[in-house]
């Protein structure tokens, strides 16, 4: 393909929306329809419905075709993530029918694949590229209705009746209104809220939702309220079993705007002329007609084509770029969570493959493994924490990715997510059948329940959540100095003898004195000695605790103690919680936690040296900070907590950096002489 040749489009999956898109390609300036990938290529009527297109046997055949530049994904939304990722891996640009994915987590994985491949990925909300939308934004910005206060929007229709075989009612096809049509009003009100505040789109700070879930478990009618910073309130609704007014209303201090059926520009899947009603505070109505006669879908075809030809990877505004698509899906995620809508296909029993639709790979080696004293199996040099996930479908994406690159060490805690972190990991270990290859860190007895008799009780609950009979490493999550340390050692030793802890145990956020006392007690009494620690450790010293009861081991006396004892330390906040990113700086005082916990001239000197070394190595300062933790003269295992695949991949860049003892000393204290 050259910069002047038309984009050769392939459509993945036949159907009504695919037919509409084919009409858009025919009416476009930049594209031509080359092929259709169908699971039933012999289906009657395909050649007539998609004239001029080669009919290929299956979706993979479309991706394998060297004469296809870009793929339009027209299949039901449960297949969007898998085939968009596979298309990116095949070097194909992708325009994906809405919703881009089932969740923002899935969409992030799709964006990650496109970013790595250097390919275009766009969400096919065609209304965003129709001239009516830009005209609407211009009217809002002009102040014709004053300051926007409220937005109301709906997209609702009534099917003939409950049809369990229809995709709109099928739970396994993620049916219902929120995902099928709810994204239209949500994306529109976010656009209007942004236009009213001088931004490309707005992000609500509050979302509340309600819905009726029918007999198949999908939402048949639903509503949500959103509040945006600055006071704009939006009310959206959708339905598949209820006809609604379907008028976008924007209410301002000097009037209102009304747009009927904005997603079709007031028309149908072929043509939408575009009509906007402006009603002044005196009731006077002005009708603004765009009078656009081009094929409704041709605008998104050309917007995608222009982006591809220009080497851009996402739509230009007012098309939905990646951040916009993610923002809309996050609202839909919150809406679904509010009404308790989780599809069966998102649960462990049916989500047995990775997000790309493949079995989990078990031979990854990008993350090396090491021996930990007292632990029978090798553990990856970094451990994964994952507190932020609340569904199996979201958390499994990151767990899969970490494991596939060689990670097998997982950090959990009894209190994390009120127990859900352990539950999620247990579901994943069982679903993927990798318990024996994995190393589990468990923690219990957090304040205020920091007592010896709590350890066994909480560990029993943790094992039940984790669906296993033992953990590999155990930490008391806090210490209670009012309790003799020997009682804690006795309780953990009993669990080790019972086989419920099969590796080292110790303390998280324990002082040096208490660790020494615990070790001495165990040596006197013949009990298993505490053999691991989980304290904060970073290139930047924690000046005061992030949370009550936290302990840092980044000081010189701690480093000497850890080195002398060769005590493994599983370091939390190992990258300084953003101190080594551009969120921090001597002139940046807006982040209270960063300022309170990390800001000192000594730490800024270390940050300066990390920046200098990173520039020399072609890395980022945060990579150097993580490499520093890995390069200690004692077993040092950083706990990392990426929320996205991009963050995970970025963290792994630190593994390429091999620091010498001299490098570590220089980063710590600066040079006596200029470093070579």
- Give strand ranges (E) for 391-494: 409-411, 439-444, 473-476
Could you tell me if 232 and 196 are in contact, meaning their C-beta atoms sit under 8 angstroms apart?
Answer: yes
Burial class (CB in 10 A: 0-12, 13-18, 19+), 401: buried
Burial class (CB in 10 A: 0-12, 13-18, 19+), 72: buried
Question: What Cα–Cα distance (Å) separates residue 375 from each residue in 177, 280, 402, 666?
Answer: 51, 74, 21, 32
Could you tell me if 234 and 151 are in contact, meaning their C-beta atoms sit under 8 angstroms apart?
Answer: yes
Length of the chain: 676
What is the C-alpha to C-alpha distance for residues 176 and 167, in angstroms, rounded to an integer? 9
Residue 97's φ and ψ, nearest 5 degrees, are -60, 150
Could you tell me if 541 and 555 are in contact, meaning their C-beta atoms sit under 8 angstroms apart?
Answer: yes
Could you tell me if 35 and 62 are in contact, meaning their C-beta atoms sit under 8 angstroms apart?
Answer: yes
Determine how many CB atoms are found less than 10 A away from the CB of residue 228: 22
Residue 564 a catalytic site member: no
Determine how many CB atoms are found less than 10 A away from the CB of residue 460: 13
If DSSP states are collapsed to H, E and C, what string results for 283-343?
Answer: CCEEEEECCCCCECCHHHHHHHHHHHHCCCCCCCCCCCCHHHHHHHHHHHHHHHHHHCCCC
What is the C-alpha to C-alpha distance for residues 472 and 502, in angstroms, rounded to an integer? 5
Determine how many CB atoms are found less than 10 A away from the CB of residue 492: 28
Distance, CA of 156 to chain centre: 29
Could you tell me if 113 and 84 are in contact, meaning their C-beta atoms sit under 8 angstroms apart?
Answer: yes
What is the C-alpha to C-alpha distance for residues 94 and 123, in angstroms, rounded to an integer? 9
The DSSP element (H or E) to which 93 belongs, if any, is strand 93-97
Given 19, 43, 86, 98, the catalytic residue: 98
To the nearest 10 degrees (0 to 180), the angle between helices 322-339 and 104-117 is 160
Residues ≥6 apart with Cβ < 8 Å to 664: 628, 631, 632
Could you tell me if 379 and 369 are in contact, meaning their C-beta atoms sit under 8 angstroms apart?
Answer: yes
What is the C-alpha to C-alpha distance for residues 557 and 560, in angstroms, rounded to an integer? 5
Residues ≥6 apart with Cβ < 8 Å to 397: 105, 106, 108, 109, 354, 355, 645
Residues ≥6 apart with Cβ < 8 Å to 256: 145, 249, 250, 278, 279
256, two tokens: 């209102």
Going by C-alpha positions, the residue among 640, 659, 658, 660 that lies closest to residue 650 is: 640
Q: Which residues are catalytic?
A: 98
């Amino acid at each position: 393909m050259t910069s002047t040749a038309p984009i050769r489009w392939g459509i993945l999956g036949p159907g009504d929306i695919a037919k509409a898109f084919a009409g858009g390609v025919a009416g476009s300036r930049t594209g031509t329809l080359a092929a259709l990938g169908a699971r039933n290529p012999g289906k009657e009527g395909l050649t007539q419905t998609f004239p001029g297109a080669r009919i290929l046997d299956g979706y993979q055949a479309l991706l394998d075709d060297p004469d296809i530049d870009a793929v339009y994904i027209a299949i039901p939304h449960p297949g969007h993530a898998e085939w968009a990722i596979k298309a990116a891996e095949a070097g194909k640009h992708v325009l994906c029918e809405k919703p881009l994915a089932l969740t923002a987590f899935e969409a992030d994985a799709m964006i990650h694949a496109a970013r790595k491949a250097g390919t275009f990925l766009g969400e096919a909300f065609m209304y965003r590229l129709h001239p009516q939308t830009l005209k609407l934004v211009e009217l809002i910005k002009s102040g014709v209705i004053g300051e926007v206060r409220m937005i109301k929007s709906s997209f609702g229709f009534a099917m003939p009746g409950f049809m369990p075989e229809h995709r709109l009612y099928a739970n396994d096809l993620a049916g219902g209104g929120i995902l099928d049509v709810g994204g239209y009003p949500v994306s529109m009100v976010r656009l209007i809220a942004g236009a009213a505040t001088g931004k490309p789109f707005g992000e609500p700070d509050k979302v509340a939702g309600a819905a009726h879930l029918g007999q198949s478990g999908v939402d048949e009618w639903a509503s949500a309220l959103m509040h945006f910073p600055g006071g704009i309130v939006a009310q959206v609704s959708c339905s598949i079993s209820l006809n609604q007014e379907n008028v976008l209303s924007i209410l301002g201090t000097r009037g209102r705007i009304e747009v009927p059926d904005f997603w079709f520009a007031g028309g149908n899947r072929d043509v939408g002329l575009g009509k906007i009603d402006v009603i002044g505070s005196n009731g006077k109505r002005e009708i603004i007609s765009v009078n656009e006669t081009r094929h409704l879908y041709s605008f998104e075809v050309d917007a995608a084509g222009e982006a591809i030809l220009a080497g851009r990877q996402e739509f230009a505004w007012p098309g939905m770029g990646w951040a916009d698509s993610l923002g809309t899906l996050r609202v839909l995620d919150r809406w679904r969570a509010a009404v308790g809508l989780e599809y069966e296909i998102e649960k462990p029993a049916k989500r047995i493959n990775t997000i790309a639709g493949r079995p989990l790979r078990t031979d990854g080696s990008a993350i090396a493994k090491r021996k930990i004293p007292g632990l029978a199996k090798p553990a990856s040099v970094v451990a994964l924490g994952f507190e932020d996930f609340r569904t199996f479908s979201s958390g499994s994406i990151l767990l899969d990715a970490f494991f596939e690159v060689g990670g097998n060490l997982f950090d959990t805690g009894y209190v994390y997510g009120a127990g859900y972190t352990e539950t999620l990991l247990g579901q994943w270990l069982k679903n993927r059948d990798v318990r024996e290859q994995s190393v589990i860190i468990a923690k219990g007895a957090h304040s205020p329940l920091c007592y010896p008799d709590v350890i066994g009780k909480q560990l029993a609950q943790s094992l039940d959540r984790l669906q296993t009979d033992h953990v590999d490493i155990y930490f008391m999550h806090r210490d209670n100095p009012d309790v003799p340390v020997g009682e804690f050692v006795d309780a953990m030793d009993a669990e080790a003898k019972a086989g419920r802890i099969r590796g080292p145990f110790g303390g998280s956020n324990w002082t040096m004195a208490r660790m020494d006392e615990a070790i001495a007690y165990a040596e006197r009494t013949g009990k298993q000695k505490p053999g691991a620690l989980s304290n904060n450790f970073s290139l930047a010293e924690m000046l005061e605790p992030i949370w009550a009861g936290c302990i840092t081991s980044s000081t010189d006396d701690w480093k000497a103690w850890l080195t002398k004892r060769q005590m493994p330390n599983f370091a939390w906040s190992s990258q300084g919680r953003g101190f080594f990113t551009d969120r921090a700086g001597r002139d940046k005082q807006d982040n209270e936690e960063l300022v309170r916990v990390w800001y000192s001239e000594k730490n800024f000197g270390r940050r300066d040296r990390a920046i200098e070394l990173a520039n020399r190595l072609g890395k980022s300062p945060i990579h150097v900070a993580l490499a520093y933790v890995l390069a200690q003269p004692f077993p040092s295992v950083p706990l990392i907590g990426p929320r996205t695949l991009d963050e995970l991949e970025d963290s792994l860049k630190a593994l390429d950096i091999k620091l010498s003892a001299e490098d570590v000393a220089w980063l710590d204290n600066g040079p006596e002489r200029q470093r070579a």
